[in-house]
Structure 1
Amino acid sequence: MAKQNTPLSIFLKNYSDILLLLGGILAGSILGLVFGKGVEVIKPLGDIFLNMLFTAIIPLIFFTIATSIATLEKTEKLGKLFSIMLAVFLGTVIVSAVVMILGVLLFPIHQEIILSKVPLETIQESNVGTQITQLLTVNDFSELLTRKSMLALILFSFLIGFATLRSGEKGQTFKNFLKSGDEVMKQLLHLIMKTAPIGLGAYFAYQVGIFGPQLFGTYAKPLGLYYAVCGFYFIVFFSLYAFMAGGKKGLTVFWKNNITPSLTALGTCSSIATIPANLEAAEEMKIPNHISHIVIPLGAPLHKDGSSTGSIIKIAILFAMFGKDFTEPSTLLLALGITVIVSVVEGGIPNGGYIGEVLTITVYGLPMEQALPAAMIIGTLIDPMATLLNANGDLVATMLVARISEGKKWLSKNLVA
């Protein structure tokens, strides 16, 4: 006798992975609240999970981007796709910054921030040309195989894909190799994500146990404002973007499939670590591979709605610290410009690089010794929510790119197919 499928069994079958992930995160959060700093003992479990992800991400990015370019039917599509993608990235970053500016103007920050002493990161000074060279290229192939060279790896992957496309029949064997590699990396990441409930649970325990108390201390008011505004932006504007991309169906498929990427972003505080979950979600959402395999890997280092909102709140807090007026039009316009720059130059490494903070402090002429420690602490405390907007923003941006490049009915056609 065939086993009857009940609504409960169907629900458990469809959402078992998400329920396990939520269970692991909930258990980790409770451990963090109960044991505080004692949860450091289980942090290695989270580190192991994250290290496996980071190890797999380098070949994943290479194969996904190179395969997408190599299998394009027409090279003209690439230029059009790039133009649309950059417009979407820039548009959403500016919108997120404006939303945070309005939040700060409606709920001004008026309080003295206690300056905590933290070790300052050494900033290496170099001219603009050198910085651009180091950002886009490396001087040895082995240096491509690191997260610190993410943009250089992406550029190299594009060139390999384009060279394969130009090779025609002579490059067919190599094209098949790229396709096979792409499929193998997908399967590897499926296996790694099976350990996510334990890995992310351990990471959430650490985040709650170590940083939780600080959220209710000196920085409580500005952090409360930041998390509230970002939560509003995440729910309202991401829903708006999804609706613009695919109507009611777009809204449904986005919120149905963005849970795992959201939890991965919150737990790891890394846009790059969220790339695999985003790619998997994009596949479930029926976003064409030639779009998702380009937009999502590029979005991780370049598209940062969360960094944009973070830049605004840091500027507002620093202005409050030093008694400056944040409401001046010139200040607000400059803040918008800084957010765009920060969105491009900041990497996807957890709590990594303080380029944005140094840029902000330098442009506004604030004392580095006093301002940088406060900016670093704020950056650490807002990191989970900022990463959520950064990483999940890549997913909804991919939907918008698909809508503009593939036409109004792209989602309906792909769902039927």
Structure 2
Amino acid sequence: MNPKNLTRNILLGMGLGLIVGVACNRLGTDVPGVTFVVDGLFPLVGRIFVKSLQLLVVPLVLFSLICGTASLNDLRRLGRIGAKTVAFYLGTTALAVGSAIVLGILLQPGVGFNLSYESDFAVRSSPPLADVILGIFPSNPFQSLAEGKMLQVIVFSILFGIAMCLAGEAGQRVLRVASDLNEVVMKLVILLMLVAPFGVFALVGRTFAQEGFTAILALGKYFFLVLGALVLHLFVTYGLLFKLGTGLSPMRLMRKMRKVQLFAFSTASSNATLPLTLETVEHQLGVKPSVGSFTIPLGATINMDGTAILQGVATVFIAQALQIDVGVQGYLMVVLMSTLASIGTAGVPGVGLIMLAMVFQQVGLPVAAIGVIYGVDRLLDMVRTAVNVTGDAVVSVIVAKSEGEFDQTVFDAVDET
């Protein structure tokens, strides 16, 4: 399979997966072979593919971040890059949830909706703040690497890179080894991309075989409002931010990010998409490794604009459906909580539902009502992930250009994938 046709092949795999998945959903499990495909073949191929992606995440973050930090030499620049990156991620998250609430209030998706929910619907409680802060710092780096605790891996990699800067010639020798290992991992990413269309086919096929279109029809107004808010944030908010922050063409950025977006859509995981995101940002968008190796892993962990949009619309939808007046103060609290929780709950399994439960509890909405919208959340989660990885790339280019760590010729080059 030619890597230059990657985007076309992923689109083909996605399209075929959608068609086969919907067909299986309509046929039902009574038809011979459907159960084997939906519950056997699709999950087997999909899980092998996602596990292969997850295999690369930890070594890629470790080596790329060590190399990026060690190559900066000036530790004050590392502080500036970190401050800019976090500020941009938090700012776009606040903007995302704020715009989602405004759209919900204007379009009123919950008015006239006959709400019923299961009272036993439960969501994992969020961890205490002290545990969240302590959980960022590793006590055993090897355990953090083995368990894939990304914030701890990021902290260890940065500290190790700083130590390499201060170690003189010994640090430079280690840097050369780490750079070689990073190149090898990048080659593994390229090899995995050759079989990506098959994994995409299985993942998309299983999703639509299970969900079909019935769930969308039942919550049509809510579903399409969240979808519209995500698309608006993707093209308008990110487009304007990118243009104002860099002066470059947002359309060129979107063209070069299309394979990453398709990949993120199919996997519904920023972490699983991280290897391709980092490879694209550095080799297609012109962000130098000293910046990209920091901004992309951090973005995959804390940048949750898509989830923030879900929280904004879901809060308005449930409040309207239950005829509960949240008020201006309540909606401002939603904006604040969604923004801060994007860091506080990073890396926790089921993070979207945990964050939404926190928001509902804060504004007096029943957590059990999450069960109403849960049916369509998988499909929306796929779109949210595509939005999130695009935000990671936008912030990376802006920060890189502001720090002089950007290669204009790479960004202007024609993308052949």
TM-score (norm 1): 0.88
- Tell me the SS of whatever aligns to 2:218: coil
- Tell me the SS of whatever aligns to 2:64: helix
1:254 and 2:253 aligned: yes
TM-score (norm 2): 0.88
| Aligned twin of 1:367 | 366
**Letter of the 1:23 counterpart:** L
| Aligned twin of 2:132 | 131
| Aligned twin of 2:21 | 32
| Aligned twin of 1:402 | 400
**Alpha-carbon distance in 1 for matches of 2:263, 2:409:** 29
| Aligned twin of 2:46 | 46
| Aligned twin of 1:238 | 238
**Alpha-carbon distance in 2 for matches of 1:412, 1:186:** 22
- Aligned CA RMSD, in angstroms, stands at 2.5
**Letter of the 1:339 counterpart:** S
| Aligned twin of 1:92 | 92
Q: CA deviation at 1:241?
A: 2.6
| Aligned twin of 1:279 | 278
**Letter of the 2:24 counterpart:** F
- Corresponding residue to 1:120 among 111, 119, 122: 122
Pair 1:33–1:118, CA change in 2 (3 A): farther
- 1:175-324 to structure 2, matched below 5 A, reads 175-247=175-247, 249-282=248-281, 283-324=283-324
Contact 2:46 2:202 in 1 (8 A): yes
Contact 1:271 1:348 in 2 (8 A): no
Contact 2:338 2:359 in 1 (8 A): no
**Alpha-carbon distance in 2 for matches of 1:287, 1:127:** 36
| Aligned twin of 1:19 | 8
**Letter of the 1:131 counterpart:** V
**Letter of the 1:365 counterpart:** G
Pair 1:349–1:191, CA change in 2 (3 A): farther
Contact 2:68 2:294 in 1 (8 A): yes
Q: CA deviation at 1:86?
A: 1.7
Contact 2:204 2:266 in 1 (8 A): yes
Q: CA deviation at 1:251?
A: 2.2
**Alpha-carbon distance in 2 for matches of 1:269, 1:145:** 22
- Tell me the SS of whatever aligns to 2:383: helix
* Runs of 4+ displaced beyond 6 Å: none
**Letter of the 1:322 counterpart:** L
Contact 2:216 2:376 in 1 (8 A): no
**Alpha-carbon distance in 1 for matches of 2:253, 2:71:** 26
Contact 1:56 1:185 in 2 (8 A): yes
- Tell me the SS of whatever aligns to 2:168: helix
Q: CA deviation at 1:378?
A: 5.6
**Alpha-carbon distance in 2 for matches of 1:345, 1:287:** 28
List runs of 5+ in structure 1 lacking aligned partners: 1-11
Pair 1:349–1:366, CA change in 2 (3 A): closer
| Aligned twin of 2:31 | none
**Alpha-carbon distance in 1 for matches of 2:183, 2:102:** 45
Overall identity of the aligned pairs, in %? 23
| Aligned twin of 1:356 | 355
Deviations 1:201-247 (A, max 9, x none): 11111122212334424322111111012112212222223322443
Q: CA deviation at 1:252?
A: 4.1
- Tell me the SS of whatever aligns to 1:406: coil
> May I ask how many residue pairs the two structures share in their alignment?
399
**Alpha-carbon distance in 2 for matches of 1:416, 1:362:** 48
Deviations 1:186-214 (A, max 9, x none): 01111111111000111111122212334
Contact 2:138 2:152 in 1 (8 A): yes
Q: CA deviation at 1:295?
A: 0.3
- 1:52-201 to structure 2, matched below 5 A, reads 52-109=52-109, 110=111, 111-116=113-118, 120-123=122-125, 127-134=128-135, 136-146=136-146, 149-201=149-201
Pair 1:346–1:113, CA change in 2 (3 A): farther
- Tell me the SS of whatever aligns to 1:272: helix
- Which deviates more from structure 2 when the two are superposed, residues 143-152 or residues 47-56? 143-152
List runs of 5+ in structure 2 lacking aligned partners: 29-33
Q: CA deviation at 1:411?
A: 5.2
Higher relative CO (CA 8 A, sep ≥ 6), structure 1 or 2?
Answer: 2
Contact 1:97 1:308 in 2 (8 A): yes
| Aligned twin of 1:343 | 342
**Alpha-carbon distance in 2 for matches of 1:342, 1:378:** 23
**Alpha-carbon distance in 2 for matches of 1:151, 1:212:** 36
